[in-house]
Amino acid sequence: MAGGLIGKGTANGKQYPGKLTFRVFVTCMVAAFGGLIFGYDLGISGGVTSMDPFLKKFFPDVYAKEMNMKPSDNQYCRFDSQVLTLFTSSLYLAALVASLCASSITRIFGRRLTMLSGGILFLAGAGFNAFAQKVWMLIVGRMLLGFGIGCANQSVPIYVSEVAPYKYRGALNTMFQLAITIGIFVANVLNFFFAKMKNGEGWRYSLGFAAVPAVMIIIGAIFLPDSPSSLIERGKDEKAKQELIKIRGTSDVDEEFKDLVEASESSMAVKHPWATLLKRHYRPQLVMAIAIPFFQQLTGMNVITFYAPVLFRTIGFGSNASLMSSMITGGFNALATFVSIFTVDKVGRRKLFLEGGAQMFICQIVITAAIASKFGVDGNPGMLPIWYAFFVVGFICIYVMGFAWSWGPLGWLVPSEIFPLEVRSAAQSINVSVNMIFTFAIAQVFTSMLCHMKFGLFIFFACFVLVMSGFIYKFLPETKGVPIEEMSVVWQNHSYWKKFVKSASEEANAKVDNSC
Ligand code: BGC
């Protein structure tokens, strides 16, 4: 990597010219629609599994248990079924496998083709689910969707980070999260309406509607240009330069282009990105690729995303009110993401992480106290006053907003910007895989955790929020405004990580070693 000029604005003072062109904006927006695929699916399954005709057709045992439930029974265990949660969670296992393969696809064929494959797989999955007659069709559909998500989540955040001018990278990348939250919200709204269909086939529409974001990403991926880094990586230097000129809106791109080529050369010298990532030199990136997605899932947010309708029914809401409340929390999630878009490149990543963490922690304690006071340990609350419902939903919304401007977007943004090109695809695979493993785990065990840990479930997540905030405070350097090719400097300047990473001159020697 080229050495730095001293100045303001970036870690080593380097400032590439280039503005937020219309082309970049549209490019990033279309790419971020990959997030829609993911969001729609995150949001759809909870509502579908709370629709009686769906349960009756595919999970008759769960339906019978639900029907025979008496008000005096333990409400915490009302939806405790491993088969049912498998319907939600199986997708994330497939996504995990796909994201591991997608790493090689993104490296060899480019980010764009990976997005396209994601869209096609997702379309096939939506078709299987919408026309499902047997449980196996549902599961095959879910697996196809999972493969699609694995491809999209691997390629989209990297693509956006590579195309965006560094000054706006945070805001543009947060569009990915915005698309996720819009996907979740649209799913919540559609579930609410489709659940009312008289013929009992509303779940087919809910699941089949996933074809819409799939088509959007397919169209987007067909028309998007490949990122300059990805073109250079595949030996198309001239095309890469032309593309860089177009997306930056200036022909003064020599400095940035030179750095991209240098980064690409050192990347090509690395024959085994997975083994390289394990080297001591890449320890900060490896730790972040594992810790950030792990902690993101341990905020407990997906308890709300997947199971808000179940949770709301558990705390005494009717089916309609539960779907309605999920719609409200989904709406807050999407709206609050805008706060992140407008602040992430100004106040920086660390402040948002820490503020969001504090907000989520306080809400989790309040929600625990509210549930404990009415449900106790026997899960039998008697009649609940109406203010109680408002109170719990209100705090859940504040909690969701805290996530929506911190761990939600930053959980994807920060990993996508801290990996150097030579290990970028491999590290992003780890990031997506860890995210999927823990998304799967939370989806799979939530109902039984609620049954056994009762209100303590929220304390469990609150403890993790405390730990993750400490982790950010101590170990995550600020990455706002640092060009992606210059990111190594933030680790070299960090009090803890500097002992692991090499200085610029050591790096130059390492490049020579690597290429031998
Ligand atoms: C997370 C998802 C979560 C969503 C909620 C995403 O960043 O990866 O697991 O459901 O945010 O908005």
Provide the CATH number for the domain around residue 192. 1.20.1250.20
Taking the centre of ligand 1 as the mean of its atom positions, its distance from the CA of residue 355, in whole angstroms, is 18
Q: How far is it, in rounded angstroms, from Cα 307 to Cα 26?
A: 34
Q: How far is it, in rounded angstroms, from Cα 164 to Cα 157?
A: 11
Taking the centre of ligand 1 as the mean of its atom positions, its distance from the CA of residue 180, in whole angstroms, is 7
Can you give the pLDDT at residue 71?
64
Instruction: Establish if 3 belongs to a structural domain.
Output: no
Is the overall model pTM greater than 0.75, yes or no? yes
Which of 56-65, 267-276, 282-291, 502-511 comes out lowest in average pLDDT? Answer: 502-511
Tell me the pLDDT tens digit for each residue of 105-156: 877 878 888 888 888 999 999 999 999 999 889 989 999 999 988 888 888 8
In order of 95, 106, 114, 211, 296, the CA distances from 98 in angstroms are 5, 12, 11, 19, 20
End-to-end CA distance of the chain: 18
> Among the atoms of ligand 1, which is closest to the Cα of residue 411?
7
Q: Which residues of 200-239 are buried (b: 16+ CB within 10 A; e: fewer)?
A: eebbbebbbbbbebbebbbebbeebbbbbbbbbbbebeee
Instruction: Establish if 151 belongs to a structural domain.
Output: yes
Which of 119-123, 180-184, 449-453, 466-470 comes out lowest in average pLDDT? Answer: 449-453
Which protein residues are within 6 Å of ligand 1, measured from CB? 42, 177, 180-181, 184, 296, 301-302, 305, 333, 408, 411-412, 435, 439
Best residue for ligand 1 mutational test, from 175, 176, 180 (most atoms within 8 Å of Cβ): 180
Can you give the pLDDT at residue 5?
26
Q: How far is it, in rounded angstroms, from Cα 252 to Cα 254?
A: 6
Tell me the pLDDT tens digit for each residue of 381-395: 667 788 888 898 999
Structure tokens at 316: 């005494």
262 membership: H or E segment, kind and range: helix 254-269
Taking the centre of ligand 1 as the mean of its atom positions, its distance from the CA of residue 100, in whole angstroms, is 19
Sequence-ordered list of residues with C-beta below 8 angstroms from that of 18, at least 6 positions apart, any chain:
165, 247, 248, 249, 250, 253, 256
Q: What is the mean predicted confidence (pLDDT) over 458-485?
A: 94
pLDDT bracket for residue 472 (50, 70, 90)? very high
Can you give the pLDDT at residue 471?
98
pLDDT bracket for residue 1 (50, 70, 90)? very low
pLDDT bracket for residue 187 (50, 70, 90)? very high
> Among the atoms of ligand 1, which is closest to the Cα of residue 404?
12
Q: What is the mean predicted confidence (pLDDT) over 314-322?
A: 74
Residue 74: name the closest of 388, 446, 325, 447 by CA: 447
Can you give the pLDDT at residue 503?
62
52 membership: H or E segment, kind and range: helix 52-58
- Residue 143 amino acid letter: M
CB 513 within 8 A of CB 265: no
In order of 168, 220, 229, 279, the CA distances from 160 in angstroms are 10, 13, 11, 27
- Mean pLDDT over each residue of the chain, to the nearest integer: 85
Q: Phi/psi at 7 (nearest 5 deg)?
A: 180, -165
Instruction: Establish if 252 belongs to a structural domain.
Output: no
Sequence-ordered list of residues with C-beta below 8 angstroms from that of 196, at least 6 positions apart, any chain:
202
Q: How far is it, in rounded angstroms, from Cα 397 to Cα 383?
A: 23
Number of alpha helices (DSSP H) and beta strands (DSSP E) in the chain: 24, 0
- Which residue, by CA, sits nearest to atom 8 of ligand 1? 408
Q: How far is it, in rounded angstroms, from Cα 486 to Cα 502?
A: 13
Can you give the pLDDT at residue 205?
97
Instruction: Establish if 218 belongs to a structural domain.
Output: yes
Can you give the pLDDT at residue 509?
61
Sequence-ordered list of residues with C-beta below 8 angstroms from that of 175, at least 6 positions apart, any chain:
28, 29, 32, 35, 160, 341
pLDDT bracket for residue 446 (50, 70, 90)? confident
Which of 38-42, 82-86, 332-336, 405-409 comes out lowest in average pLDDT? Answer: 82-86
Domain count within the chain:
1
- Residue 220 amino acid letter: G
Instruction: Establish if 238 belongs to a structural domain.
Output: no
Can you give the pLDDT at residue 7?
29
Can you give the pLDDT at residue 106?
78
- Which residue, by CA, sits nearest to atom 12 of ligand 1? 181
Instruction: Establish if 178 belongs to a structural domain.
Output: yes
Task: Tell me the residue range of the domain where 186 lies.
Answer: 22-224+270-510
Which of 31-35, 45-49, 188-192, 335-339 comes out lowest in average pLDDT? Answer: 31-35
